[in-house]
């Protein structure tokens, strides 16, 4: 088995042999965008990936203010993160914001921002990745939930959901109001639910729950007044 000190020495030697050009090429070939911002908010370096992700030539952004490209609604959070890192040379922040694309659109980015004023970089490193698709899915999901909520309220429907792994039962506010209970009175376990079921329907409820529990599924039910 190789001596650990020999492995470490070989690793250090390999790192030195690679040199700055190797690391520069590594950054240039990366799919994520790397930007360096100075203390005034000016971009001093922009990696080539910005062309693929945002449509800009890197040299066109160098020398520009980063703040001008951040969406107005996201600018306060971005400014706060930058201001925090100005006073913490080794700090780190992670945030999501929209960045203007060259075609006039907006791209959602998730960025890890690190202050490096105590090194030759003398600025803030911003590593960004595109999360636009994820944000669009989140927006669609929220819209779907809102439409469902409106439909259920309009139809006077209540929902209860049983998690068979935890035996917890969640009920929406409309269902408890329909039954004349408060959320606390209804409880949050299946036994609490069975306590308020009419005797004639209890056997059916028990049979369905036992049958479904064999599959390990989650039950969601809709009730109407």
Domains plus CATH for the chain?
Answer: 4-131 (3.30.450.20), 136-216 (3.30.450.20)
pLDDT in tens, 8-28: 445 455 545 566 676 666 666
Percent of the chain with pLDDT over 70: 58
pLDDT exceeds cutoff 60 at 181: yes
Mean pLDDT of 23-36: 76
pLDDT exceeds cutoff 50 at 196: yes
For the chain, the average pLDDT equals 76
The residue with greater pLDDT, 30 or 3, is: 30
Tokens representing 61? 């952004």
- The residue behind tokens 């965008």 is 33
pLDDT exceeds cutoff 80 at 85: yes
Q: Pick the range with the lowest mean pLDDT from 45-54, 68-77, 136-145, 206-215.
A: 206-215
Mean pLDDT of 78-104: 88
The residue with greater pLDDT, 140 or 170, is: 140
- Per-position DSSP letters for the chain, written without gaps between them: ---HHHHHHHHHHHHHHHHHHHHHHHHHH-SSEEEEE-TTSBEEEE-THHHHHH---HHHHTTSBGGGGB-TTTHHHHHHHHHHHHT-TT-EEEEEEEEE-TTS-EEEEEEEEEEETTSTT-EEEEEEEE-HHHHHHHHHHHHHHHHHHHHHHHTTEEEEEEETTTTEEEE-HHHHHHHT--HHHH-SBHHHHHHTS-HHHHHHHHHHHHHHHTTT--EEEEEE-
Q: What is the pLDDT of residue 157?
A: 65
pTM as predicted: 0.58
Q: What is the pLDDT of residue 7?
A: 43
pLDDT in tens, 127-150: 999 999 999 999 888 887 787 777
pLDDT exceeds cutoff 70 at 43: yes
């Amino acid at each position: 088995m190789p001596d650990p000190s020999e492995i470490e020495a070989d690793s250090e030697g390999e790192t030195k042999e690679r040199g700055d050009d190797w690391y520069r090429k590594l950054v240039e070939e990366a799919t994520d965008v790397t930007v360096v911002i100075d203390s005034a908010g000016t971009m001093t370096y922009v990696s080539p990936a910005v062309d693929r992700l945002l449509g800009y030539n890197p040299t066109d952004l160098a020398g520009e203010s980063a703040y001008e490209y951040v969406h107005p609604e996201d600018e306060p959070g971005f400014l706060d993160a930058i201001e925090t890192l100005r006073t913490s040379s080794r700090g780190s922040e992670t945030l999501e914001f929209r960045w203007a694309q060259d075609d006039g659109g907006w791209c959602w980015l998730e960025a890890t921002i690190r202050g490096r004023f105590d090194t030759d970089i003398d600025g803030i490193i911003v590593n960004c990745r595109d999360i636009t698709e994820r944000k669009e899915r989140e927006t669609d999901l929220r819209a779907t939930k809102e439409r469902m909520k409106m439909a259920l309220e309009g139809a006077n429907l209540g929902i209860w959901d049983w998690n068979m792994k935890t035996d917890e039962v969640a009920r929406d506010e409309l269902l408890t109001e329909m039954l004349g209970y408060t959320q606390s009175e209804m409880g949050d376990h299946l036994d609490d639910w069975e306590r308020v079921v009419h005797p004639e329907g209890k056997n059916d409820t028990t049979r369905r729950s036992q049958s479904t529990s064999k599959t390990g599924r989650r039950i969601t039910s809709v009730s109407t007044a």
